[in-house]
Structure 1
Amino acid sequence: MASLDHIQLAMPEGEEGRARAFWGGLIGLAELEKPEALRARGGVWFALDGAELHLGVEPGFAPARKAHPGLRVSGIDAVAAALSDAGHPVKWDEKIAGRRRFFTEDPFGNRVEFLEED
């Protein structure tokens, strides 16, 4: 049996401040200290419930438009409102019974899903 350790998303070089503002400030994830041996690569890590979200610098960065993390939240309407107020698109999707969910984009154009059980 496997369990999730971390999710990796790519980001452009030198954009750690924008990553912190979105994932830490707007979404509310706690930043994790990267291991010393990996700090020179850039990027930033955050804590999820039982796992981690890693944003790593990718040369020639292109955002993930289909592949995405799905983050379970409580108070999904407040999350959607905060994202919308901050200028991020919120696209609701009702195709899965028993789940309220929407898609948005991080500051770099990576697709992100937020969901809450009905």
Structure 2
Amino acid sequence: MSIEIIGLDHIQICVPIGKEGLARKFYLNLLNFIEIEKPESLKNNGGFWCESGEVTLHIGVEDIAETKSKRHVAFIIHDIAQVRRTLKKNGILIREEIQIPGIDRFSCFDPFHNKIEFLERVETSTKMKES
């Protein structure tokens, strides 16, 4: 029997201990996630949980080195141009990624150096017209 992945339950990233306020500002205020209740049994671990659409994001806390990594979450979005503008307007540096046919994508880093990729599926012919 082979393993078949049928969806995404949640993504967990980590931020430094004591930085939940900054994480809430980035994820809740800027990216418009909505905070959801953590189970009582996990509240002592710190951090928080949030969601947007069908994406559930767990923000954990731990003693981590602040270094950039290839670790990332990739969010499927609508209106990628608007997301780029919003992030740039808020001082977030955008990194254009190598393009993949049918996908417009870019990435940035949150305040804790977690890489975040944003992607939108596009028709290849439409993408060529925009270039």
Give the TM-score, by structure 1 length: 0.90
CA contact (8 A) 2:32 2:52 kept: no
Task: Determine the structure 2 residue equivalent to 1:115.
Answer: 119
Q: How does 1:10-49 map to 2 (within 5 A)?
A: 10-49=14-53
Structure 1 spans left out of the alignment, 5+ residues: none
Consecutive aligned runs of 4 or more in structure 1 exceeding 6 Å deviation: none
Distance 1:28 1:51 in 2: 12
Distance 1:7 1:69 in 2: 7
CA contact (8 A) 1:104 1:111 kept: yes
Distance 1:63 1:116 in 2: 27
Quick one: percent identity of the two aligned structures?
38
Equivalenced residues, count: 118
Q: 2:110 aligns with which of 86, 106, 111?
A: 106
Q: Aligned-residue CA RMSD in angstroms?
A: 1.5
Distance 2:39 2:85 in 1: 34
Structure 1 residues 106-115 or 61-70, which shifts more?
61-70
Aligned: 1:68 with 2:79? no
How far did 1:79 drift?
1.0
Structure number with bigger Rg: 2
Using CA pairs below 8 Å that are at least 6 residues apart, which structure has the higher relative contact order? 1
Structure 2 spans left out of the alignment, 5+ residues: 123-131
Give the TM-score, by structure 2 length: 0.82
